[in-house]
């Protein structure tokens, strides 16, 4: 008979958003993971365990894909970063699907993984600090149309926003 194969790995929280699973970045539990056959139909569904690990076992040879279902509050991280297939994120950032890939008899594929991050937001208010005290006082108006840039650690602009409000928050 044909020896069954398996596919699995980890869904982890990519806390620094670099697309590589590193020490201190924990697995994400209870993430739904689907196994798709060569036609794209779901043939099995599982969830990640407490450490973010999932596995599909007793697979027959063939072509498969894995679909990671993004949990609420998370986004997919960068994919295919670095040279270690066991530590990168393999899914398509839009669909959550990794693959297709071929599974041969007795394969134990342990490199189909996904990184997730929790998006954050920041912002406040731009105002005319007419008395120069560094605090927005009740009589100090907001400045509509002020452009604000977000810089990364190296000083590169990663986002620009325009303050469209002109009243105190």
Cβ(8)–Cβ(107) below 8 Å: no
Distance, C-alpha 33 to centroid of its chain:
14
CA distance 44 to 60: 13
- Which of 56-65, 66-75, 84-93 is predicted with the least confidence, judged by mean pLDDT? 84-93
Average pLDDT over residues 31-41: 97
Which position has the token pair 């907001």? 142
Distances (CA, A) of 139 to 89, 125, 129, 144: 51, 14, 10, 16
Q: Is-above-0.85 flag for pTM?
A: no
pLDDT higher for 163 or 129? 129
Cβ neighbours of residue 122 under 8 Å, at least 6 residues apart? 150
Summarize pLDDT for 72-88 with one digit per residue, the tens.
999 999 888 878 777 78
Summarize pLDDT for 91-148 with one digit per residue, the tens.
998 999 999 999 999 999 999 999 999 987 777 778 888 898 988 888 888 888 888 8
Using DSSP bridges, classify how beta strands 5-13 and 114-117 pair: parallel, antiparallel or unpaired. parallel
Cβ(79)–Cβ(99) below 8 Å: no
Using DSSP bridges, classify how beta strands 62-68 and 32-37 pair: parallel, antiparallel or unpaired. antiparallel
Average pLDDT over residues 14-37: 95
Which position has the token pair 């209870």? 30
């Amino acid at each position: 008979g044909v020896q069954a194969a398996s596919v699995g790995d980890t869904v982890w929280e990519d806390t620094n958003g670099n697309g590589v699973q590193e020490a201190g970045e924990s697995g994400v539990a209870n993430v739904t993971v689907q196994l798709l056959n060569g036609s794209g139909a779901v043939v099995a569904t599982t969830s990640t365990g407490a450490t973010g690990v999932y596995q599909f076992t007793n697979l027959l040879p063939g072509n498969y894909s894995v679909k990671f279902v993004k949990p609420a509050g998370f986004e997919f991280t960068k994919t295919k970063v670095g040279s270690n297939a066991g530590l990168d994120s393999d899914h398509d950032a839009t669909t959550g699907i990794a693959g297709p890939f071929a599974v041969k008899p007795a394969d134990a594929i342990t490199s189909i993984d996904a990184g997730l991050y929790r998006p954050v937001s920041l912002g406040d208010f731009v105002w005319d600090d007419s008395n120069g005290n560094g605090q927005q006082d009740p009589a100090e108006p907001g400045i509509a149309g002020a452009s604000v840039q977000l810089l990364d650690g190296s000083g590169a602009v990663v986002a620009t926003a325009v303050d469209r409000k002109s009243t105190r928050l």
